Amino acid sequence: MTEKTEKAECIYRKYIKCLLDEKSILHVSFIGIDETFDAKRQKTKPYLPLILMMELQEFFSEMNRFLENNSKDDIKEVYLEGFADANVFAVGAVIDAIKKILETSMDKHTLYRKAMIFSEIGQNALLEIKSCPKKVTAIIDGFALGGGLELAMACHARMVKSINTVFGLPETTLGLIPGWGGTWWWRFIPKLNQEKFIEYMKTGASFNAREALSINLIDSTVDIDEMETPAIVNQSKPYSRSSVAMIKDVIGITNKIDTGTNLALSIERENFAVAMTSPDAMEGITAFLEKRKANFE
């Protein structure tokens, strides 16, 4: 990792901080403030609220335009570091916000439309990252779960700072499916053990950095010697079989047809919205917030 200098540090809008180091690497991280800060505990909440995701889309959209028109090569590479100050990459969407969407929707049609918007906002942000003309590397520490892992997968490369980092797409344990591109971004990861990864996505399993390296989900670690720790996979939570079937359908459809990214994300978005209208979603999210095991049908 390069050493940073304070000379070129700035805040973009509200939730994003960026810093250009002496090697022309742009370090992008998230700020613990308002919706990403727990005032009672006085600590950062490393979640990804929609307001942050919209800001992230704007940031990369503006940067992409700058890079395409910049001939001086002012930025050579981008390091996306998540909530670096909290030593956590990101733990996904705010579950309370999803519960609020469920509770404030008067009917299934309204809920479906809200879920579509929720998914589209996240997908659009990650699509801008994927479209960046410079290499974007996710610098992952602590946790990369749910939307946080989808964010890392949308980057062009992934580096882990700690062997204790935990990965996973736990959406099926919430009665949902990945909705920010998780059913699609993995296709761009070279040499990924797709069979194992898809199985982890279906079961909502979490796993450590050693396993992530083993299946080629991550490209490298800061200290490869420390990676002698055994691989650990945790599949202790119940998951929705309806969600698993939906993931299989989404992957099956995008396998059979000549799918571009926009169409693939549209298919995922529609299925995410269907999952949000299911009884499993209410049960899974409620169980999560009540800190109990979900009782899926």
Distance CA 295, CA 297 (A): 7
Say which DSSP state 18 is in. Answer: E
150 noted as active-site residue: yes
- Tell me which DSSP letter residue 169 carries: -
Alpha-carbon separation of residue 172 from 99, 178, 202 (angstroms): 15, 8, 6
Distance CA 175, CA 278 (A): 8
Annotation says 9 is catalytic = no
Gap between the Cα atoms of 5 and 20, Å rounded: 8
Q: CA angle 187-193-197, nearest 5°? A: 75
Q: Out of 171, 211, 226, 270, which one is annotated catalytic? A: 171
Q: Which of 55, 120, 128, 150 is catalytic?
A: 150
As a 3-state breakdown, the chain gives helix, strand, coil percent values, each rounded to 5, of 50, 15, 35
Angle between helices 261-276 and 108-130 (to 10 degrees): 150
Are residues 140 and 89 in contact, defined by beta-carbon separation less than 8 angstroms?
Answer: yes
| Residue 124 dihedral angles phi and psi, to the nearest 5° | -65, -40
User: Coil, helix or strand for 70?
Assistant: coil
Please give the positions annotated as active site.
150, 171
